Amino acid sequence: MAWTFRFLEDIALADLGFEAEGESVEEVFRGTTQALIESLANPSTVSGRWERAIERSDADLAGLLFDWLSEVVYWKDAAGVVFREAPLTLTQEGDVWLLRARLIGAPVDQQTQELHADVKGVTKHLYGLKQTDGRWKARVVLDV
């Protein structure tokens, strides 16, 4: 596993923030996705009965990451689920980046799942994705 993430303290009263780093842009996408999943629930307490395939594309990597994370929050609300995992691949085709992913989870169940924050959305506050010294880094703030 080449990505890492850490939660940030004192971002704002009603927000939850984290930074993720990776050796590649795909790894930082995986790290931010895992941080979002763990913001919602402990993934080890979530079964894999629900699944959805997602494809998104964009020429702007930061925009693609923002849209992807927003899609995860959308499905949490639209289907009433939390997630166990979200395997993904990121490829570049010409000037466009293509994200292919699967959201795997289960409907919210307070009896069997360790639930965390009810994330309302991904914000642009302090949001960023950049490459520095060969490593990728993203900062994300969630509205909870």
Instruction: Give residue limits of the domains in the chain.
Output: 4-143
pLDDT for 92 beyond 60: yes
What are 22-55's pLDDT values in tens digits?
Answer: 999 999 999 999 999 999 999 999 999 999 999 9
Select 4-143's CATH number: 3.40.50.300, 3.55.10.10, 1.10.40.30, 3.40.50.2300. 3.55.10.10
Residue 83's H or E segment, with its range, is strand 81-85
At residue 14 the predicted structure's pLDDT band, cuts being 50, 70 and 90, is low
What are the backbone angles phi and psi of residue 96, rounded to the nearest 5°?
-110, 135
100 burial (CB, 10 Å; 0-12 / 13-18 / 19+) is middle
Helix segments in 4-87, DSSP class H: 25-40, 61-79
* Ramachandran sector of residue 35 (left: φ over 0; alpha: ψ -120 to 50; beta: rest): alpha
pLDDT reported for residue 56: 97
What are 109-129's pLDDT values in tens digits?
Answer: 999 999 999 999 999 988 999
